[in-house]
Structure 1
Amino acid sequence: MYSRAGLRDWSVLLRQLNCLSSITQIPNFVDRYIACLYPSRRSGTVAGNGMDIKQLRYFVAIVEGGSFSAAAKQLRIAQPALSLQIRKIEDDLGIKLLLRGPQGVTTTEAGETLLHSARKILSDLSQTEDELRSMGQEPSGIVSIGLPGTISSILAVPLIARIRRKYPKIKLIIAEAMSGFVLEWLEHRRIDLAVLYSDNPAPGYSSKALLREELVMLIPPEAAPDCPTVEEAIEDMPLILPSSAHGLRMMLEQMLAKRTIRVEPTIEVDSYANIKRLVSSGYGCSILPFHAIAQDVARGQLASLKFAAPRLWRSAHLVHQSAIPLKIAAQAVHDEIPLVIDDLLADNSWAGAERL
């Protein structure tokens, strides 16, 4: 019987192929790992007739093609030979993987589990082979990075411009969402890198400090003379904040509790733009990073108040999974992000922020 935990670990072990000195070593590495999955493997077999990389490719092709005949045509092998290979897998595992019907083949629950793992295995193997071939060459390929909206609005365009200029063969994908969603994407390997407002999101992540940005109170301009302090503004006006699911809200509740300031918003809006409109229109006050309101303050549409010492800051960190070495292209992007941050701070494009 095969180890499902072992199949899930494929992605981790195949990343170790980066340390191999030659593509020709890949088959031996794969053989060694399959031997770990199936201790009874002997001379190219797994617990008897067993499963190998070729059979995984056959299985995925059948499911994606919808039938044995379509897969046989794509793979350019005889259909009986293809059927025999799948039957060998099922016999060895002692479980049915595929069901044939008038509309083609469908996967059983076990087949769906194998399909998910097989796709990851084949994808990682293909990616690793590409990376080994490209070693010593210009970094290339797709790199995805997740950014919270407030960071994306500042960082995305200059980062894309820098990567296109320095690494034209890298295709950079920017995914934007609230920090909680970005961390979930990173956990499920939908993205390679993330910038998060947390220095230690969870065990198993590598984190590099980028900067800290100041959080300030924003109030309507006409209210400024009557509210010289943050405490007076909160006491005199309704508080407008993101909902409790928002990363900033959770952070503010923790920070303000230490100052004995109760966070009881009258209005909850998960949109910085709408929060600013509400404050500007006189519906209340709010707390946001200064860079999010700097232009509004300069135009006289909002006024800002700083917290008394110690001032309120939140830090941004560059994060990736520590158990999985970054591919060459992702490492290149990772190394460029702090340099882009330096440029943005130097020309005051990230107002109210300091390098860490």
Structure 2
Amino acid sequence: MDIRQLRYFVHIVDCGSLSRAARELYVAQPALSQQIAKLEAEVDRPLLNRSSKGVVPTDNGLALYHHARFMLRQFDQAVEIARGETGPVQGVVTVGLPATTVAAIGLPLVKRLRERFPNILLNVVEGMSGHIGQLMRLGQLDMAVLFSCEPALEAVIEPLMVEELFLILPEESRLVPGGIDHVKLAEAAALPLILPTRDHGLRQRIEAEFENRGLSASVVAQVDSLSLVMDCVHDGMGATIKPMGAIMKESAGGRRFRYLAFRDLVFRRRNFLYTLPPGQLTPAATVVVAELRETVRLLISDKIWPGFEGAFPEPSPFPEAIAS
């Protein structure tokens, strides 16, 4: 078994097709099949189930796939560390960010890295927090921002920031009279709301607050796409409950929204930074971690982010009540 065979195997599983993997790897399909056959002979187990629709890993193949991805990342990081000793910091760094976090921090972070470390290629993976967390556990990310503090395999977790949740509606909306900048939760519950599906942690947090007060939300649409939620809100379909990051990108694009704080509860969401242990971070990833922290600090200190606070004001950095 060698690194090349593992790379071939991982790429085949990612593609779900031998022919497609052969094209992308610029390797003849018979030669690629031969390498996989050698790998299967060495482990004495079938690793792929082949059919007319493509290939999928067997149980043994799936186990090898996850370990191989980790081993390949370690190998590539070792090469980057060796190369980094003789030149500027360089390499590919993968960071997972939820959609609202991308909207708030994505552009400032990318611009800062391009200006200060042009040899670092930042790979941003956007997705729901549950998906991002799973990728982090599988070792496919160097770092991630998540909304809950849960033990993750070989991950270092630290508090990053706290963001307030607001009732968001179009600037000219008549759902709430103009001049009002605070609402009660009962007033929000009575409005037509566009919220994430019930699988989303934020939706669960919102519904828990409503239930605690004997309220029922008037949900007119359930959408897990941030851009579509904001499209629906801007179109006048209803309001939503999101952090400020949801409208920062919208405002830059010329669309105007109102954000109303809640008068009768503290509605906040805590953000945690997950990273691989220091011994597993490449020099490039270490730089990105520092730059991400600094980007957040500057955006908060310059008051570019209304409703955001650095780290946590509570004595304990990991309180039990977390809006995810």
Q: TM-score range by the shorter chain?
A: 0.5 to 0.7
Write the letter of the residue equivalent to 1:145.
V
For residue 349 of structure 1, give the secondary structure of its aligned residue in structure 2: coil
Quick one: structure 1 residues 307 and 144, their matched pair in 2 at CA, closer, same or farther if it must change by over 3 Å?
A: same
Write the letter of the residue equivalent to 1:342.
R
Aligned to 1:353: 308
RMSD: 4.1
Length, aligned pairs only: 278
Q: How does 1:84-103 map to 2 (within 5 A)?
A: 90=42, 95=44
Aligned to 1:76: none
Quick one: structure 1 residues 238 and 141, their matched pair in 2 at CA, closer, same or farther if it must change by over 3 Å?
A: same
Indicate if the aligned counterparts of 1:204 and 1:323 stay in contact, CA closer than 8 A: no
2:149 is the counterpart of 1:199 = yes
For residue 212 of structure 1, give the secondary structure of its aligned residue in structure 2: strand
Q: Report how far residue 112 of structure 1 moved.
A: 4.3
Write the letter of the residue equivalent to 2:199.
A
Indicate if the aligned counterparts of 1:62 and 1:70 stay in contact, CA closer than 8 A: no
Indicate if the aligned counterparts of 1:146 and 1:194 stay in contact, CA closer than 8 A: yes
For residue 223 of structure 1, give the secondary structure of its aligned residue in structure 2: coil
Quick one: structure 1 residues 290 and 69, their matched pair in 2 at CA, closer, same or farther if it must change by over 3 Å?
A: closer
Indicate if the aligned counterparts of 1:241 and 1:287 stay in contact, CA closer than 8 A: yes
Which is richer in strand? 2
Indicate if the aligned counterparts of 1:96 and 1:108 stay in contact, CA closer than 8 A: no
Quick one: structure 1 residues 290 and 158, their matched pair in 2 at CA, closer, same or farther if it must change by over 3 Å?
A: closer
Quick one: structure 1 residues 232 and 219, their matched pair in 2 at CA, closer, same or farther if it must change by over 3 Å?
A: farther
CA deviation profile, 1:4-51 (whole Å, cap 9, x unmatched): xxxxxxxxxxxxxxxxxxxxxxxxxxxxxxxxxxxxxxxxxxxxxxxx
Indicate if the aligned counterparts of 2:7 and 2:72 stay in contact, CA closer than 8 A: no
TM superposition score normalised by structure 1:
0.63
Aligned to 2:161: 211
Match of 1:314 among 238, 252, 269: 269
Quick one: structure 1 residues 179 and 131, their matched pair in 2 at CA, closer, same or farther if it must change by over 3 Å?
A: same
Find the aligned partners of 2:255 and 2:29 in 1 and give their Cα distance: 63
Q: Report how far residue 319 of structure 1 moved.
A: 0.9
Aligned to 1:164: 114
Write the letter of the residue equivalent to 1:56.
D
Q: Report how far residue 155 of structure 1 moved.
A: 1.3
Q: Report how far residue 143 of structure 1 moved.
A: 0.4
Quick one: structure 1 residues 240 and 201, their matched pair in 2 at CA, closer, same or farther if it must change by over 3 Å?
A: farther
Q: Report how far residue 337 of structure 1 moved.
A: 0.8
Match of 2:2 among 27, 39, 56: 56
TM superposition score normalised by structure 2:
0.68
Task: Between 326-335 and 248-257, report the one with greater CA deviation.
Answer: 248-257
CA deviation profile, 1:91-120 (whole Å, cap 9, x unmatched): xx6x36699xxxxxx999698469645575
Quick one: structure 1 residues 66 and 60, their matched pair in 2 at CA, closer, same or farther if it must change by over 3 Å?
A: farther
Find the aligned partners of 1:347 and 1:341 in 2 and give their Cα distance: 10
Match of 1:341 among 270, 285, 296: 296
Q: How does 1:1-356 map to 2 (within 5 A)?
A: 55-57=1-3, 90=42, 95=44, 112=61, 116=65, 117=67, 120-121=70-71, 124-132=74-82, 134-135=84-85, 138-200=88-150, 202=152, 204-219=154-169, 221-225=173-177, 229-234=183-188, 236-263=190-217, 265-293=219-247, 302-322=257-277, 325-356=280-311
Structure 2 unaligned blocks of 5 or more: 10-26, 49-54, 312-324
Aligned to 2:18: none
Quick one: structure 1 residues 256 and 137, their matched pair in 2 at CA, closer, same or farther if it must change by over 3 Å?
A: farther
When Rg is computed on C-alpha atoms for both structures, the one with the higher figure is 1
For residue 174 of structure 2, give the secondary structure of its aligned residue in structure 1: helix
Find the aligned partners of 2:176 and 2:63 in 1 and give their Cα distance: 63
Find the aligned partners of 1:235 and 1:121 in 2 and give their Cα distance: 50
Quick one: structure 1 residues 138 and 259, their matched pair in 2 at CA, closer, same or farther if it must change by over 3 Å?
A: farther
CA deviation profile, 1:268-311 (whole Å, cap 9, x unmatched): 12234443444455543321213434676xx9954443212442
Q: Report how far residue 256 of structure 1 moved.
A: 4.1
Find the aligned partners of 1:148 and 1:59 in 2 and give their Cα distance: 34
Indicate if the aligned counterparts of 1:205 and 1:323 stay in contact, CA closer than 8 A: no
Q: Report how far residue 180 of structure 1 moved.
A: 1.6
**Greater length-normalized contact order (CA 8 Å, ≥ 6 residues apart):** 2
Write the letter of the residue equivalent to 2:193.
L
For residue 102 of structure 2, give the secondary structure of its aligned residue in structure 1: helix
CA deviation profile, 1:75-95 (whole Å, cap 9, x unmatched): xxxxxxxx9xx69x75xx6x3
Aligned to 1:40: none
Q: Report how far residue 141 of structure 1 moved.
A: 0.8
Find the aligned partners of 2:275 and 2:165 in 1 and give their Cα distance: 26
Aligned to 2:24: none
Aligned to 1:50: none
For residue 210 of structure 1, give the secondary structure of its aligned residue in structure 2: strand
Quick one: structure 1 residues 286 and 188, their matched pair in 2 at CA, closer, same or farther if it must change by over 3 Å?
A: same
Structure 1 unaligned blocks of 5 or more: 1-54, 73-82, 100-105
Q: Percent identity?
A: 27
Indicate if the aligned counterparts of 1:193 and 1:318 stay in contact, CA closer than 8 A: yes
